[in-house]
Structure 1
Amino acid sequence: MKVTETKLAGCYILEPEIFEDERGYLTEVFNARRFKQAIGKDIDFVQDNQSFSQYGVVRALHFQLGDHAQAKLIRVLHGIIWDVAVDLRGDSPTYKQYIGVKLSYENKKQLFIPRGFAHGFVVLSATAEVCYKCDNYYHKEAEGGIAYNDPDFDIDWKLPADSLILSEKDKALPNFDTAKS
């Protein structure tokens, strides 16, 4: 597995080794021991989530607060997404900065996002199926979010604004300054 730390400390792009032959391919999607060696932390994933979305759907920017914060390991089972992580750790040198990574069925890349980040993605293909591991259980009362188009972050979502599809809940998310208070 090739592991690359991004400009945001603690966020890693993981590229698994692919074994291909005339029958197809095999890859080890997750191995706790190798994962720990790669990122230098022992993460105990307790929940897997999966979503299916169509072209232009934005699911962003979400996080869990306090003791319910979640680290995530994201991968794509079908299609292509632009996956975004925003550093919300107040003591971080990359506070309020983001990274975007193209994750797809074809490239098999995964993105690890530690606790203290907002996360979201947009679907760039006709449809996409996304699977992600979480190291903490979801708690509705600890749910937080920031508007996908917050000018403080100026995120490039890779698609024209008029082609983006958001849930009513995501359309109502506040800007960061409002959410912070």
Structure 2
Amino acid sequence: MRVTKTAIEGVLIIEPKVFGDARGFFFESFNNKAFDEAIGRHVEFVQDNHSRSARGVLRGLHYQIQRPQGKLVRVISGAVFDVAVDIRKSSATFGEWVGVELTAENQKQMWVPEGFAHGFVVLSETADFLYKTTDYYAPAYERCIVWNDALLRIDWGIQLADVKLSAKDTKGAGFFNAEVFA
């Protein structure tokens, strides 16, 4: 696999080695040993999640203030623009974000470590989004930063009028008022 560092330390783009021919393709979507070597520490995933969303659906920016989750994310059908926001107050990149287009065709994955808010918007008609997490979902600790916060200035790459949000995501906190990590 090929690992590319992003502008924020710890957030990585992972591209598996794909073996393809006229019959189709094969790739190893996850290998614990190779993944641990790529990120420089041991990670244990405890939960796999799968969401399907329609064009314009934006999910995020989510995180758990206690029992934080690292996430390894990928798309198996369609396309999304995926975003990680550094919410570690002690970090030199606090309040900065990185984004990458993840598609079924490019087969890229993004590693979003603990200490980040995460979200994505669907660019295709529909998208199937898979992610592994390093801790279990804990609703009591779930937090949300509003997707269009003026301080973050995230360029989601779509017309803002096309965004579809859950009721929960419309009530996200502004970045300035959000609970963040030390």
- Answer whether TM exceeds 0.5 for this pair: yes
Q: In 1, distance between residues paired with 2:138 and 2:60? A: 17
**Which residue number corresponds to residue 108 of structure 1?**
107
Percent identical residues: 46
**Which residue number corresponds to residue 34 of structure 1?**
34
**Which residue number corresponds to residue 49 of structure 2?**
49
Deviation of 1:178 (Å): 2.0
Q: In 1, distance between residues paired with 2:94 and 2:178? A: 15
Q: In 1, distance between residues paired with 2:9 and 2:22? A: 39
Deviation of 1:37 (Å): 1.0
Deviation of 1:50 (Å): 0.5
Deviation of 1:44 (Å): 0.3
**Which residue number corresponds to residue 131 of structure 1?**
130
Q: In 2, distance between residues paired with 1:52 and 1:112? A: 20
**Which residue number corresponds to residue 167 of structure 2?**
168
Deviation of 1:180 (Å): 3.1
Q: Does 1:177 align with 2:176?
A: yes
Partner SS state of residue 178, structure 2: helix
How many residues are aligned here?
180
Deviation of 1:122 (Å): 0.2
Q: In 2, distance between residues paired with 1:108 and 1:22? A: 18
Given residue 114 of structure 2, which amino acid in structure 1 is its aligned partner? R
**Which residue number corresponds to residue 6 of structure 1?**
6
Q: In 2, distance between residues paired with 1:161 and 1:102? A: 17
Deviation track 1:63-100 (CA, whole Å, cap 9, x = no partner) reads 0112x100000000100000000000111111000001
Q: Is there any run of 5+ residues in structure 1 with no aligned partner, and where?
A: none
Deviation of 1:105 (Å): 0.1
